A and B are shown apart, each in its own frame.
Chain A
Amino acid sequence: MSMQPIKRALAAVALCGLALPALAQTTVSDAWVRASVPQQQATGAFMTLTASSDSKLVSVASPVAKTVQVHEMTMKGDVMGMREVKSVDLPAGKPVTLDPNGYHVMLIGLGQQVKEGDHVPLTLTIEDAKGAKETVQVEAEVRALTAGAGHDHAHQH
């Protein structure tokens, strides 16, 4: 829980010294951003994250967008529900996919059109169970606006 005493976390960090941040490592694969059309103000970013120890994704930043949020999409019957979430749990060793059908990153307030073939820098901040923060730099490839949203992949391939 976030209620975990900070002191304990600090003590743990102090005890383990510099070795600790090196232990908690998160790898990111298949990062991509959906292309936008001119004047479109927002688009989504998707990827698969694997943390080496129980962690959570707490924030994302990108120079292409004023605001970056993590949203969660859920289907309830025929209604697609969308909401902002404060963090995404990354259990140790378990790949967590941010895709159009669940958690995903929203790039909001785009400075300019995001074009297919471009690369979008993303800075992910990941916090482990002890509260130690790690940042991961990702270059996400921009794919066509029409790129598969995952759903049909599951269905047809």
Chain B
Amino acid sequence: MTDLLTRRAVVAGMGVLGLGLLAGCNPARGLDFKYGKNMSNEILGRKFKLKDTQGNERSLSSFYGSMPMIFFGFTQCPAVCPTALARAVQIRNMLKGRDRELFQVVFITLDPERDTPEVLDAYVKAFDPSFTALTGTPEEIDAVAREFKVFYEKVPAGDTYTISHSSTSYVYDTRGTLRLSLGHSLNAKECTEDLLTLMEIC
């Protein structure tokens, strides 16, 4: 309730435009996504606290004012992770001006033991310098994965291991409300169309 009041106060402060935005973002109206899934009624990832590659603590509120697209992976992943990051680069390139500024890619490692902050930082920034990577202790990562209902498991491979994991990307609006999930099979153009739908009204 307090949250709601605060939000209303903020929106009121923003004036008519702000009220229009709030109405537009009302999940009851339904966001009409063509490819992804409307997640407005799901609550995922509200409470995570992880560290970025510089060691700063980050939570969902750290990304208020931007539209974070959060997904999970590991740098030794040969397939889904580089594909998802490359797709994110293409999406970012298709977005223009303010929309591009709003779009914030957040990569959370599922392999904190091997993905040191240095490796993670170099990895995501090789795709785009604006991308952020988050890590934590194995216990913290485990808790965050559970919070996002992300499945992952270590798979033994010889004297080492690989990781199987969920590949969906989650997009939040500028106030930290989950809005959209984008499956791995969607291409950059399809993702961008849905992101623009979200950006138009939120």
Contacts and interface: CB of A to CB of B under 8 A. Distances in A.
B85 A80 contact: no
Interface stretch (A2-10, A88-96, A121-129, A141-149): A141-149
Contact of B168 (A67, A71, A78): A78
A152 B78 CA distance: 15
Size category of the A interface is 35 or more
Interface in B103-133: 114, 116, 118-119, 122-123, 126-127
A152 B160 contact: no
A123 B163 CA distance: 26
Contacts of B160: 67, 108-109
A39 B119 contact: yes
Size category of the B interface is 35 or more
A75 B187 contact: no
Interface stretch (B17-25, B39-47, B151-159): B151-159
A74 to B, nearest CB: 9
Contacts of B167: 75, 78-80
B119 A152 contact: no
Interface in A63-78: 67, 69, 71, 73, 75, 78
A152 B80 CA distance: 11
Interface in A99-157: 100-101, 104, 106, 108-109, 144-149, 151-152, 155-156
B187 A146 contact: no
Interface of B: 75-80, 82-83, 85-87, 89-90, 114, 116, 118-119, 122-123, 126-127, 151, 155, 157-160, 162-168, 183-185, 187-189
29 contacts: A34-B82, A37-B75, A37-B123, A38-B122, A40-B75, A43-B76, A44-B78, A67-B159, A71-B162, A73-B79, A75-B167, A78-B167, A78-B168, A80-B79, A80-B165, A80-B184, A83-B155, A83-B157, A83-B164, A84-B157, A84-B158, A101-B79, A106-B78, A108-B76, A108-B157, A145-B82, A146-B127, A151-B83, A152-B188
